[in-house]
Amino acid sequence: MNARAEDPDLWKDKDAAQKVMRERNRLQTSIDGYEGLVREFSENVELIELAESENDSDIVSEAEDALCALAQRARKLELETMLSGEADGNGCFVEIHAGAGGTESQDWAFMLRRLYLRWADSHDYKVEMVEESLGEEAGIKTGVVKISGLNAYGWLKTESGVHRLVRISPFDSNSRRHTSFASVWVYPMVDESIEIQIEDKDLRVDTYRASGAGGQHVNKTDSAVRITHMPTRIVVQCQSQRSQHKNRATAMSMLKSRLYELELQKRKADMAAQEADKTEIGWGHQIRSYVLQPYQMVKDLRTGVETSNTSAVLDGDIDQFLSSALAAQVTGDSNLSGTG
């Protein structure tokens, strides 16, 4: 890989060069991660041996805790080596839709978007708000977030499905318990090396005035763009930029990603082992429950992984759910991450 990356002729084809460099960076990251684990393991084992010879129980305890943390990192790296799907290494779009229930579900959709933003930030991914439709009183009806970085799609792809929230409603004057639903759809970003054929005759392009935050510019110009792909009825929209041209470009990128993801799903449809996980999102296909009242518990209904630390989960600490779902999908074992 290094020899190929250093070949001066490689850069004559920019797209090919970028693909090679992405692969090189992915492999280098894996190698660095493995070497770091080996180095830290050796250092902590030596530290334990030294501390035991000096009867320093505090140092032994600290080093043992460090080894436990290394074991968790090793399991995560093991899973990352399994992110070998065609688009697993790509960035992704996370699209969230509030379910029926008005303000309750719209607030839940907003909370879910915040969860993924926090998760992305904690993993040093670049985030861009692409589109949002605000609720009448609170929250969002829909929202699309672009998350850029290595393996973002691979990690988040199992988040597609319906998420259920049970809580005492902050919008109910009688403080009754409410159940809300929101759907999440994760699909991969595509680069120029992946050819997606889209004909102009298959598109309907509408422009409208943006409804989200944006200062005085919002509601003065029809800069937001909505594109409908007529053969598939896929609809994408973008309002994040002041320029209609830029919003259209982003919307086309989203459309290509959606069509690419649709093709990936068609290819996987023949794999019986994954058939149940790839059904169309619907209110009957809940993947996770977030219960805040009368007790506190977040439970993944596919893997059985659960935790009572609901505040951490809502702040983006979902790695245990991602790891277990990925393990179940790749190896059939959902117990690599344990239970929180």
pLDDT in tens, 251-309: 888 888 888 888 777 766 644 344 344 343 345 568 999 999 999 999 999 999 999 99
Global pTM reads 0.68
Contact 260, 194 (CB under 8 A): yes
pLDDT band at 120 (very low <50, low <70, confident <90, very high): very high
Taking the CA atoms of 121, 125, 127 and 133 in sequence, report the sign of the dihedral they define: negative
pLDDT at residue 214 is higher than 80:
no
The residue ranges of every structural domain in the chain are: 2-80, 89-283
pLDDT band at 191 (very low <50, low <70, confident <90, very high): low
Q: What does residue 180 show for φ and ψ, rounded to 5 degrees?
A: -125, 155
Res 75: pLDDT:
76
d(Cα 326, Cα 82) in Å, to the nearest integer?
Answer: 9
The CATH topology of domain 89-283 is Alpha-Beta Plaits (3.30.70)
Contact 184, 171 (CB under 8 A): no
d(Cα 199, Cα 185) in Å, to the nearest integer?
Answer: 25
